[in-house]
Structure 1
Amino acid sequence: MDLSSVQSSIQSLVNEMKEKMFSSNCDPYSFISPSAYDTAWLAMIPDPHQPSQPMFKNCLDWVLHNQKDEGYWGDSDSHGMPTNECLPATLACIVALKKWNVGTVCVEKGLAFIEANTEKLLEEMDNHAPRWFAIVFPGMVELARTVGVRLVFLPGSNGVISELFNTRQQILEKEKDAETYQSLPLFSYLEALPAAYEIDENDIIKHLSSDGSLFQSPSATASAFMATGNKHCVAYLLSLVQRSCDGGVPATYPMDEELIKLCMVNQVFRLGLAERFIEETEKVLAQVYRNYMNQESWAKPSNLVAAQQALFKDSLAFRLLRMHGYALPSDSFCWFLQHEDIRDQIENNHGYFSSAMFNVYRATDLMFSGEYDLQEARSFSKKLLEKTVSVGTRDQTHFISSNLPRLIEHELSLPWFARLDHLEHRMWIEEKDSNVLWMGKASLHRLSLPHNGEIILLAMQNYEFRQSVYKNELEELKRWSKDWGLSDMGFGREKTTYCYFAIASSTSLPYNSQIRMMVAKSAIVITVADDFFDMEGSLIQLKDLTDAVQRWDGKGLSGHSKIIFDALDNLVSEIATQYLQQQGRDIINNLQDLWYETFASWFTESMGGKIGSIPSMKEYLETGMTSIATHTLVLPASCFLNPSLPISKLRPQQYESITILLMLIARLLNDVQSYQKEKDEGKVNSVLLYLQENPEAGIEDSIAFVREILDKKKKEFLQHVLMDGYSDLPKPCKHLHLSCLKVFQMFFNSTNRYDSNTKMLQDINKAFYLPLEVGNSKPLIPLPHLQTGTKKEHPTINSYFNRPSKQYYIMSRSFATRPISWSTSTDYGPGKMFIPPKFRFCFT
């Protein structure tokens, strides 16, 4: 692969996306997916001056031209299949077409879909229809019959439909005179309420908002206008249509344009494209920050919908702004904790608020010391998210994003500190519905870029470009390790791939190849040398090697000691030479002193272990913070960042607090997962020393003690990384410290993955070798031979994918599509061939 041409292609697409997503003439509303249901309701409105014509013909045209091939209108789930939201949407579109006597073929296809799929979609709700569906679907059935649409349902549907009508009646009776609402009030579903509900014009007008809408619902407001002719309603609808895209209107209007922009930025970041849109995203975040800081207070939302949207936005803004160094106060989204009524609403409607709580929980990942309101928000949101995952959301509302519960589980099971950026980017690229915004009246609004396929394509190309770079660098690193004899020492751990995986997956491409290779080589030398001190060398050999490092002269060394020293000497010389060429200064003595400090700490530990001395906790940590060698990894590499680490920070007495915190945290993370191994080997660590100094304590008490220190120090460390004024290090250096900490948290989160020969393999394969799985792709299977150019249905594919198709195509990793061209090759067995892993099926 010609990486330069790939990089050029990626940059070209980046430039296109900058223009389409972030230029000054971009309309944020163009990023919201239209609602077929609400668009259909606007299409039903007669022109007051020409009642035989639709008032909004462009909405009717949208309905005519946006029916899915399968016959339905509305959104599909993450597998491309229709959801129960499609049933009322399809009925509403059929009614709109029927009313104006157009789209006969579309109506017939829609009715065929309703007949064939209603039973299946209703069964999937398992007698737990969401409140909105129990109101809207019966209303659309009645409306369709009123305009002469003949609905035919399969026999199995009738009982469920009858039950839905009963459920609606119970809701209407229970809530008709209610003055407070746990969910949206019934008037927000005005268009679907039965005639028997007896709503007069004054009641409708009384519920209109100042903008002329009924609860910002286009469909309800369309119904209100047809019932009252109110001038404020028509002004709202005209404004809505003017902002709509190609005739389709959103499910809620107006929408928070700033939230839309925040979601765009969030999408860019989690798809791994941050380094491609630095100026554009920084501009958005700077404006959002200014707006937040200009607010005099955090206003209490007036209703359930406003609370959900505000929580979603405020917590998302907090996370993005804090991650980028803005000092936004925690009460910018923790305001809900101070309002008992809002907390009660959230708890009673946990499914409706699950996307907001997901953002709240993620925001609390960035907690600093002393932020007790963030701790409370974390506990509160965690409890509700666990409830959402355990009992589901079917009794609350319907998720278009069927993947959200799985994303919640991922969030709860793996701490943010333990996630590597490269793998997180892969997860979000593969999530078709990762662009969820917030709950609306009936479903989720989604960030739906007009060129959404292009942003995903860009993310895929960017990810695969990284994979290519990483694979090349890994092979180069393996050669280096082998050439210097480090990969077959005959003892200890061979972790060349692990070391490179850790640095490559925890950072993005702005940390260039030079830095990745430098850190990976250092980690390899550290691993081999540490194992030599722990398990192989005699005390005399260890002293000789330590002395050689001190004087930086390998004369007299032999065997393993000489291999280690020679590799170290090569590495340090290489780093010093590169720095001299780039910066014009000689740092070889600084590097040698840094490495000697590390070797001296290993020797101190080994000598103590061999003679059986037991240090105090303070003495242990003073040595152990150095022997974990995180500073030996990040400080030399930081000298090559831009802006770079000052040379003075390479001296032990000059280490910044952030570096000392990194050293301490990494040591304690290792200790929590390695205490049993070290106890069996007669060694000590902080967990075992606490037990010794506190005889009344048990092992769980000791682990809890160390974890408590870890929790406190990680919050302090994060504040040093993200906020100005806590560390004099340049921002890139601080972020390299953060990447190093995340690597150690990943290795020692719940077990000692670094010592395992198997636990890292799946992640390594995903990071470097496995192609992305996007869309509806499934593992490929051998297929019977077809003649070249054959285009026809194939039973093997049909049975495997459980769906018919018109024509089969294969899709390459570059998203170029072309018909399958079968050859007569028998490379994979008589009359068979296998599509290479880089291809995926798509259906047209």
Structure 2
Amino acid sequence: MVLIDGDVVVCVYLLQGFQDSIGRIREKMKGKVEITPSAYDTAWVAMVPSREDSGREPLFPQCLDWIIENQNPDGSWGLQYPGHPLLVKDSLSCTLACLVALRKWNAGDQLVKKGLEFLRSNAWAATDKHQISPIGFDIVFPMMINYANDLDFTLPFHQHLLDSMFSNRHSEIKRNPNLEYVAEGLGESFDWNKSLTQQRSNGSLFNSPATTAAAFIHTQDNNCFQYLHSVLITFKTWVPTVYPIDVYARLRMVDTLQRLGVDRYFQSEIDSILEETYRLWQQKEEEIFTDITCCAMAFRLLRIQGYEVSSDELAAFVDQERFFDTVSPQMGGVATVLELYRASQVQISEEESSLERIHAWTSKFLKQQLLNKTIPNKQLQKQVNYELKNFHGIPDRVGNRRSLELYDMDNYQVLKTAYRCPAIHNEDLFLFSRQDFNICQSQYQKELEQLERWYKDCRLDSLKFGRSVVNISHFLTCAILADPLLSDARLSYAKSIVLVTCLDDFFDHHGSREESLKILELTKQYVNEQPATAYGSEEVEILFTALYNTVNEVAAKAYIEQGRCVKHLLVSLWVEMLTSFMREMDSRSDETPPSVDEYLSFAWLSISCRSCILTSIHFLGINLSEDMVMSPEFTSLCMHVSFVARLLNDLQTFKVRFLLNSSRESASKKEEERKLNSVILMQAAHKDGGGISEEDAIWEIKKIVEFNRRKLLQMVYQRNGSIVPRECKDIFWKTSKIAYYLYSSGDEFTSPQEMMEDMKSLIYKPLELPALATS
């Protein structure tokens, strides 16, 4: 429980309904995976004739009964009523399949009449390119019309519409050689016995009841029968559009909880799901490796959690042309490509060239889809756009807010027909995650008030120079340390950023060398517990006193948390950083600039990641020994994240400097040119050999950034041989996300409009909680 200004923060566990919601969500994670019925697939299973009586009766009459009992009021069959305005094609497909099944067994005359009227009224959608098309619609729907004709079943379609549909069908078959997944739309022309070579161990073709039912009709294969029989044992009177789906659905649950920012409530369940998934991965479970989307998601989630999974399992998808030439339509959609794109982001080794190649083509493909406006699902379109814009740079809570805004409890996915997984998208999770966000936001606002009081108490607001970064510093810490119980971690991190920024501005622009050196000497005296002497200027007094009092305050709180004194460590971090500031100052005045290596030897400290992180980790609720904090592993983590942040800053400020030098007066130009920057130093290092271009220097620096990003990621994910708790290592990775976020479109705290909007969304604007029906 956290105290802010004497008021106990409301603990989310005690809010009315929270425990109940958590319990219901946990039950969904542990229980049987829910999936909505597929009228389309159920109709195909209903069409299977019995093996006796010359096939005059349905082999699965319960499916025919389900069709009779589940027509929608408008005469259609399908996912929901009233139907989604972009899923009319899906309703047409489901309705026609059900009508063919009814006509085949001479059942439900009145239902047939209503169904025909629905087809007549909505026939326009069959060729409408703005509609979301079920996979294989252009092939299967015209073939079902032929099946209806064979049953002397007249359908209410005009000839010009029929001509257009059959023309589309011919083009689609000619264009796509991999149509086994929609083989029920190929009829007698298809080699059904050959299709059985792709039969899975459960007897299905592609885990599709419809395709498997069609295969059984044509081959009488007993394994197909056993599959259909097993599906109906599970679902009784209907079948889903895909089965089994357990592994994929449970991974989607994990991914959804993480994206919504509420995974901390369900960590035990998530651990169990991933442990089981890893066991299946090691056993080469067919359900994972025959589904590209599931495989890519499993790879990403397992690797992030530290499981050793090889990227070789994705090597077959490194080439775009081969990918679309070899995969079935079931796996060639934007959602699958997006999942491969996400998987490419967890590359931890230069040897994983397959992930680099996957990243190259998937990002290009997704950008083209956005440009061509060919993603009809608007939520998916927004998600793709957001993730492409923020590669490596979405701080957790900023991404959570975006996911919460896009979360739809009525969300559907589309294979041969639209379907929903209620365990993933439901009212409980919708309300629970939004309430949790608002509760956290309320606490962030109280913390900001406390941070602003600290800023004034330290008299930092009276300084006549530098950037005022209280709000942004607080926003950034909330973005990576979301848990409401981590208030002290957030505040100590934010205060470190504010102090670093004030001191950095003083050393860089506003203080003399003597004044800067005085602050460093006073801080060194503080290490040895020597009393401060005369300050020399008001600015020095304000800056040092703020540092002195804040370190004392943080050390006192850390003593309560850790049971040991950490003051010496905290002060030494500040001495280390201020020393690096002085080295930067002195190097700028040297006639001979340092080499890139010399520059990086102190510049990684001046970016302040080390002091911010090593201060805040003492408030994560984990006991940390001094040996652990000062271990080589901690040092390596600090160096890698600092190199990433330092060089990203250099790349961005180099662009800023170029613009400034194009517009400022000569004196200002000289001031800007005196600043050390790795891009300029990289160019200078190659002068004797003829020099390298600015573009090549930038490329070299980007390679160093990427090397350190991967090394950092590798250490964060590492389980074996690591002495640093994962909760601590995560702070390093999240700090690197801040760096990518800050330096993507502007110098650190000269915030672009998008960052300001993110800050408003995270700190000030609560999520709406609409009134929903209660059960």
Task: Tell me, yes or no, whether TM beats 0.5.
Answer: yes
Distance in 2 (alpha carbons) for counterparts of 1:236 and 1:202: 17
* CA-CA distance at 1:405 after TM superposition: 4.3
Distance in 1 (alpha carbons) for counterparts of 2:653 and 2:194: 69
Corresponding residue number in structure 1 for 2:38: 35
Change in CA separation of 1:354 and 1:169 when aligned onto 2, cut-off 3 Å: closer
Distance in 2 (alpha carbons) for counterparts of 1:468 and 1:56: 56
Partner SS, residue 418 of structure 1? coil
Residues 148-180 of structure 1 deviation map (CA, whole Å, 9 limit, x = unaligned): 766445xxx7534321123335667x69xxxxx
Structure 2 contact 293–336 (Cα < 8 Å) conserved:
yes
Structure 2 contact 640–708 (Cα < 8 Å) conserved:
yes
Partner SS, residue 261 of structure 1? helix
Structure 2 contact 179–329 (Cα < 8 Å) conserved:
no
Corresponding residue number in structure 2 for 1:816: 772
Structure 1 contact 639–647 (Cα < 8 Å) conserved:
no
Confirm or deny that 1:250 pairs with 2:226.
no
* CA-CA distance at 1:721 after TM superposition: 1.2
Structure 1 contact 7–465 (Cα < 8 Å) conserved:
no
Corresponding residue number in structure 2 for 1:359: 339
Distance in 2 (alpha carbons) for counterparts of 1:78 and 1:661: 52
Distance in 1 (alpha carbons) for counterparts of 2:308 and 2:122: 52
Structure 2 contact 410–426 (Cα < 8 Å) conserved:
no
Confirm or deny that 1:549 pairs with 2:523.
yes
Confirm or deny that 1:472 pairs with 2:472.
no
Corresponding residue number in structure 2 for 1:667: 646
Structure 2 contact 652–747 (Cα < 8 Å) conserved:
yes
Distance in 2 (alpha carbons) for counterparts of 1:746 and 1:705: 21
Distance in 1 (alpha carbons) for counterparts of 2:27 and 2:582: 58
Which amino acid in 1 is paired with 2:614? L
Structure 2 contact 44–213 (Cα < 8 Å) conserved:
yes
Which amino acid in 2 is paired with 1:410? Y
Which amino acid in 1 is paired with 2:39? A
Corresponding residue number in structure 2 for 1:182: 177
* CA-CA distance at 1:815 after TM superposition: 4.3
Corresponding residue number in structure 2 for 1:808: none
Change in CA separation of 1:378 and 1:229 when aligned onto 2, cut-off 3 Å: closer
Confirm or deny that 1:408 pairs with 2:384.
yes
Change in CA separation of 1:65 and 1:267 when aligned onto 2, cut-off 3 Å: farther
Structure 2 contact 408–430 (Cα < 8 Å) conserved:
no
Confirm or deny that 1:626 pairs with 2:630.
no
Structure 2 contact 341–363 (Cα < 8 Å) conserved:
yes
Distance in 2 (alpha carbons) for counterparts of 1:214 and 1:327: 31
Confirm or deny that 1:310 pairs with 2:291.
yes
Partner SS, residue 816 of structure 1? coil
Corresponding residue number in structure 1 for 2:693: 698
Which amino acid in 1 is paired with 2:716? V
Confirm or deny that 1:278 pairs with 2:267.
yes
Change in CA separation of 1:308 and 1:108 when aligned onto 2, cut-off 3 Å: farther
Which amino acid in 2 is paired with 1:813? L
Which amino acid in 2 is paired with 1:373? S
Corresponding residue number in structure 1 for 2:252: 263
* CA-CA distance at 1:198 after TM superposition: 7.2
* CA-CA distance at 1:465 after TM superposition: 2.4
* CA-CA distance at 1:37 after TM superposition: 0.8
Structure 1 contact 591–650 (Cα < 8 Å) conserved:
no
* CA-CA distance at 1:209 after TM superposition: 7.2
Q: How many residues align?
A: 742
Residues 164-200 of structure 1 deviation map (CA, whole Å, 9 limit, x = unaligned): 123335667x69xxxxx732238x533x557xx5789
Corresponding residue number in structure 2 for 1:840: none
* CA-CA distance at 1:121 after TM superposition: 5.4
* CA-CA distance at 1:273 after TM superposition: 2.3
Where does 1:573-722 land on structure 2 (aligned, <5 Å)?
Answer: 573-609=552-588, 614-648=593-627, 656-677=635-656, 680=669, 681=672, 682-695=674-687, 696-722=691-717
Confirm or deny that 1:536 pairs with 2:515.
no
Which amino acid in 1 is paired with 2:699? A
* CA-CA distance at 1:291 after TM superposition: 3.0
TM-score, normalising length from structure 1?
0.78
Distance in 2 (alpha carbons) for counterparts of 1:769 and 1:105: 57
Change in CA separation of 1:469 and 1:72 when aligned onto 2, cut-off 3 Å: farther
Structure 2 contact 299–343 (Cα < 8 Å) conserved:
yes
Structure 1 unaligned residues grouped into runs of 5+: 176-180, 394-398, 773-811, 819-844
Structure 1 contact 36–74 (Cα < 8 Å) conserved:
yes
Structure 2 contact 289–295 (Cα < 8 Å) conserved:
no
Confirm or deny that 1:137 pairs with 2:157.
no
Which amino acid in 2 is paired with 1:162? D
Structure 1 contact 315–359 (Cα < 8 Å) conserved:
yes
Corresponding residue number in structure 1 for 2:474: 500
Change in CA separation of 1:587 and 1:578 when aligned onto 2, cut-off 3 Å: same
Distance in 2 (alpha carbons) for counterparts of 1:405 and 1:326: 31
Confirm or deny that 1:88 pairs with 2:93.
yes
* CA-CA distance at 1:353 after TM superposition: 4.9
Change in CA separation of 1:602 and 1:104 when aligned onto 2, cut-off 3 Å: farther
Confirm or deny that 1:737 pairs with 2:732.
yes
Change in CA separation of 1:481 and 1:584 when aligned onto 2, cut-off 3 Å: same
* CA-CA distance at 1:560 after TM superposition: 2.6
Which amino acid in 2 is paired with 1:167? N
Partner SS, residue 277 of structure 1? helix
Partner SS, residue 760 of structure 1? helix
Distance in 1 (alpha carbons) for counterparts of 2:326 and 2:748: 38
Q: Mean alpha-carbon deviation: is it higher for 315-324 or for 286-295?
A: 286-295
Which amino acid in 1 is paired with 2:467? R
Distance in 1 (alpha carbons) for counterparts of 2:414 and 2:84: 20
Q: Which has more helix, going by share of residues?
A: 2
Partner SS, residue 333 of structure 1? helix
Corresponding residue number in structure 1 for 2:165: 164
Confirm or deny that 1:452 pairs with 2:452.
no
Q: Mean alpha-carbon deviation: is it higher for 111-120 or for 623-632?
A: 111-120
Residues 607-657 of structure 1 deviation map (CA, whole Å, 9 limit, x = unaligned): 444676633323322221111111110012122334344324666999521
Structure 1 contact 656–728 (Cα < 8 Å) conserved:
no
Structure 2 unaligned residues grouped into runs of 5+: 1-7, 662-668
Where does 1:363-382 land on structure 2 (aligned, <5 Å)?
Answer: 363-371=343-351, 372-382=353-363
Distance in 2 (alpha carbons) for counterparts of 1:78 and 1:769: 36
Structure 1 contact 665–710 (Cα < 8 Å) conserved:
yes
* CA-CA distance at 1:288 after TM superposition: 2.1
Corresponding residue number in structure 2 for 1:723: 718
* CA-CA distance at 1:753 after TM superposition: 4.7
* CA-CA distance at 1:117 after TM superposition: 3.0
* CA-CA distance at 1:479 after TM superposition: 2.6
Change in CA separation of 1:601 and 1:343 when aligned onto 2, cut-off 3 Å: same
Bigger relative CO (Cα 8 Å, ≥ 6 apart): 2
Confirm or deny that 1:16 pairs with 2:2.
no
Structure 1 contact 347–384 (Cα < 8 Å) conserved:
no
* CA-CA distance at 1:105 after TM superposition: 7.3
Structure 2 contact 179–328 (Cα < 8 Å) conserved:
no
* CA-CA distance at 1:98 after TM superposition: 6.1
Structure 1 contact 212–235 (Cα < 8 Å) conserved:
yes
Corresponding residue number in structure 2 for 1:114: 119
Change in CA separation of 1:474 and 1:118 when aligned onto 2, cut-off 3 Å: farther
Distance in 2 (alpha carbons) for counterparts of 1:412 and 1:624: 30
Structure 1 contact 251–445 (Cα < 8 Å) conserved:
yes
Partner SS, residue 33 of structure 1? coil
Structure 1 contact 401–433 (Cα < 8 Å) conserved:
no
Distance in 2 (alpha carbons) for counterparts of 1:450 and 1:105: 37
1:462 to 433, 436, 460: 436
Distance in 1 (alpha carbons) for counterparts of 2:591 and 2:740: 30
RMSD: 4.0
Q: Mean alpha-carbon deviation: is it higher for 115-124 or for 564-573?
A: 115-124
Distance in 2 (alpha carbons) for counterparts of 1:204 and 1:713: 48
Partner SS, residue 504 of structure 1? helix
Distance in 2 (alpha carbons) for counterparts of 1:620 and 1:461: 47
Where does 1:388-427 land on structure 2 (aligned, <5 Å)?
Answer: 388-390=369-371, 401-415=377-391, 417-427=392-402
Which amino acid in 1 is paired with 2:570? L
Residues 706-765 of structure 1 deviation map (CA, whole Å, 9 limit, x = unaligned): 111111111111111111356532222111111111111110124325223644211112
Corresponding residue number in structure 2 for 1:781: none
Residues 406-458 of structure 1 deviation map (CA, whole Å, 9 limit, x = unaligned): 4333333321x211111222333333579999974x35765442872322332
Corresponding residue number in structure 2 for 1:396: none
